[in-house]
Structure 1
Amino acid sequence: MPQTVAFTKGHGTGNDFVIVADPDGALALDAEQVAAICDRRFGVGADGILRVVRADAVAEGADAAAGGAEWFMDYRNADGSIAEMCGNGIRVFARYLTETGLAEIGEEPVRIGTRAGIKTLTRDGAGFEVDLGPWTVDESDVLVQARGLPVARPGLGIDVGNPHVVVAVASDDELAGLDLAHHPLLHPAPVAGANVEFVVPADPLVQSGVGVVRMRVFERGSGETLSCGTGVAATALAVRHWAGPAAPDQWRVSVPGGELSVRMRDGHVLLAGPAVLVYSGELTLA
């Protein structure tokens, strides 16, 4: 018998999500159901699904529960595949928790469990800032082919809890000319895949002590999105890495859906920006 489920639609700089509350972990969504919900023509339409579940109610939340996180973010990409982390999604997740009274984020931060570990969120103006934790840089040779690039370009691997490859492009025109309706090709291809970011620096790169760049992204499991929070962090980290030791620790990254802020502190990278709830409704699961 079809099941009716309440949902809320939200977004962070245009990176949009269907949020489903399942505190007790009773709802089992398979990949086909997730893909059907996220379909922009025949479903609600979204870049992914955020299932709001108590950490102690699901096996993958056990470590988070032991670490003091009440809630676990079960994030699925638009194609139904499981993802480790989502930087825009976790801010929207925090917005949902606070707007529905499931959690408070005031002077004290909130801890949310993810497949990439516990993430700590605080309020930041009208939005939230998430501590994504430490990052790693992989300087292995990766070549990236994309429609609109005349030749393959080298990419830099950055891991911020999920994998990214960041590619520098020559100009705003080259960035705008990319056809990201087609999946960029990575050589060699990472075993688990990767999100691919294309970035162009502002001129000048550093303005009032803050690094400024623009980027577009092709997300693993979702395609091109208007924004990718972890991709924004990876982009800032990559450009900082290329710029050398004099590069700033604060960055503004423009994406098609808006602007996000990134800062590096004590070996951690933090991402800040808006999180908006748009509407609520009900959907029927096949």
Structure 2
Amino acid sequence: MKFFKYQGTGNDFIMIDDREQTFNLSKAEIEMLCHRRFGVGADGLILIQDAEGYDFRMVYYNADGGEGSMCGNGGRCIVRFAHDLGIFDKETSFIAVDGKHEASVTPDLVSLKMSDTAAVSDKDGLHFYDTGSPHVIKYIDNLDELDVDGAGSAIRNSEFWKVNGGTNVNFVEAIDEQRIKVRTYERGVEAETFSCGTGVTACVLDRFVVAACQSPIAIVTKGGDLEVSFHVNADHSFTNIYLIGPAKRVFEGVLA
């Protein structure tokens, strides 16, 4: 089975062209492939499949082998993958677990339209957004010094989230009015990743709520820089959300 490795600001994925629907790996086998010592090494595995009425379907598996919710950087990477496969030229529409997405590509960037997002809600004392995946946000000074794995795991595995479906955890430091630094603890990976697309999207929307910052907002992650633009509705929900950043092929190979 041929595979490709892509990364978007350090969030890396195994990509498989499954348009003939021959993929049949188990949860344990997917987890092994994503393992950074015994497999290819990735934050997740993504299949590209045919889908009636769309250019393609995105099927995403977390690094633990379980099928996951929407992944923003994974979405940008699969758009680049589909473009590299010749499925579309400049603009595309595809279906993922959270519904329809639109995207466009340039030589350097992929712009991905994210799902509309409800107004902020409070969950266990933290701001919460569902941007295709669930995210809570906590503001931190001196973010570079934070033990993200420890602090993120404590929230992710708290009693509240054990009975409420689990969450990703984002730690944010404001740089200025239009820039933030974000570090994310991702469920499914159960560790900090270099970047999280749905996570930075949630953090940008929260900057509007907390500090009235206007679209677009730039984000600094461990893996590189991203930008999110958005529109705020009268009911404080969000539409026309775009996640913008690089997505690149790293290498390809064959699974033995």
Aligned to 1:20: 16
Q: TM-score, normalised by structure 2?
A: 0.90
How many Å separate the matches in 2 of 1:184 and 1:71? 37
Aligned to 1:183: 153
Q: Are 2:97 and 1:115 equivalent residues in the alignment?
A: yes
Aligned to 1:130: 112
How many Å separate the matches in 2 of 1:179 and 1:88? 20
Aligned to 1:99: 84
Aligned to 2:185: 218
**Structure 1 position 33, deviation (Å):** 1.1
Which of 1 and 2 has greater Rg? 1
How many Å separate the matches in 2 of 1:175 and 1:230? 21
**Structure 1 position 125, deviation (Å):** 5.8
**Structure 1 position 227, deviation (Å):** 0.3
Aligned to 1:43: 39
Would the aligned equivalents of 2:168 and 2:199 in 1 still touch at CA under 8 Å?
yes
RMSD: 1.7
Q: Residue by residue, what CA displacement relative to the aligned partner does 1:14-71 show, whole Å, maximum 9, x if unpaired?
A: 000000111022212221111000000000000000111112xxxxxxxxx3xx2131
The secondary structure found in structure 2 opposite 1:213 is strand
Which of 178, 195, 203 lines up with 2:168 in the alignment?
A: 195
Residue type matched to 1:180 in 2?
Answer: D
The secondary structure found in structure 1 opposite 2:173 is strand
Q: Residue by residue, what CA displacement relative to the aligned partner does 1:148-168 show, whole Å, maximum 9, x if unpaired?
A: xxxxxx421011111111111
Give structure 1 stretches of 5+ with no counterpart. 56-64, 143-153
The secondary structure found in structure 1 opposite 2:182 is strand
Structure 1 stretch 184-193 or stretch 87-96: which is displaced more?
184-193
Identity %: 30
How many Å separate the matches in 1 of 2:148 and 2:116? 32
Aligned to 1:241: 209
Aligned to 1:71: 56
Aligned to 2:25: 29
Within-5 A mapping of 1:156-175: 156-169=127-140, 171-172=141-142, 174-175=143-144
How many Å separate the matches in 2 of 1:48 and 1:125? 24
**Structure 1 position 187, deviation (Å):** 5.3
Residue type matched to 1:162 in 2?
Answer: S
How many Å separate the matches in 2 of 1:35 and 1:141? 30
Residue type matched to 2:135 in 1?
Answer: H
How many Å separate the matches in 2 of 1:20 and 1:221? 19
How many Å separate the matches in 2 of 1:184 and 1:31? 26
Residue type matched to 1:280 in 2?
Answer: E
